[in-house]
Amino acid sequence: MSSAMEKVRQLAPHWAVMFVAMFAALAVVERVLGGLGLAASLLIVLAIAVAYPVVVRALGVAPPVWQR
């Protein structure tokens, strides 16, 4: 298996969880606060995209390609 395919295999479950977390967070915030603007939605998505790898590393379940 190629190196790129191995990285994708390791990261695919994390991408899926991050994708679901982004949609869930947007749904909850929209339900609580009403309609969101594009800028607010992008900030929420960016916050999750930055925080997710940090949390996963702290929990010790990060894939090997995220280990430093």
Q: How many domains does the chain have?
A: 1
**pLDDT tens per residue, range 51-64:** 999 999 999 888 88
- Three-state secondary structure readout of the chain: CCHHHHHHHHHHHHHHHHHHHHHHHHHHHHHHHCCCCHHHHHHHHHHHHHHHHHHHHHHCCCCHHHCC
Assigned domain for 29 exists: yes
Assigned domain for 24 exists: yes
Which structural domain range is residue 32 located in? 19-62
Assigned domain for 6 exists: no
Predicted pLDDT at 34: 85
Confidence of residue 66 (pLDDT cuts 50, 70, 90): confident
Assigned domain for 9 exists: no
| Full-model pTM | 0.79
Assigned domain for 39 exists: yes
**pLDDT tens per residue, range 11-62:** 999 999 999 999 999 999 999 988 889 999 999 999 999 999 999 999 988 8
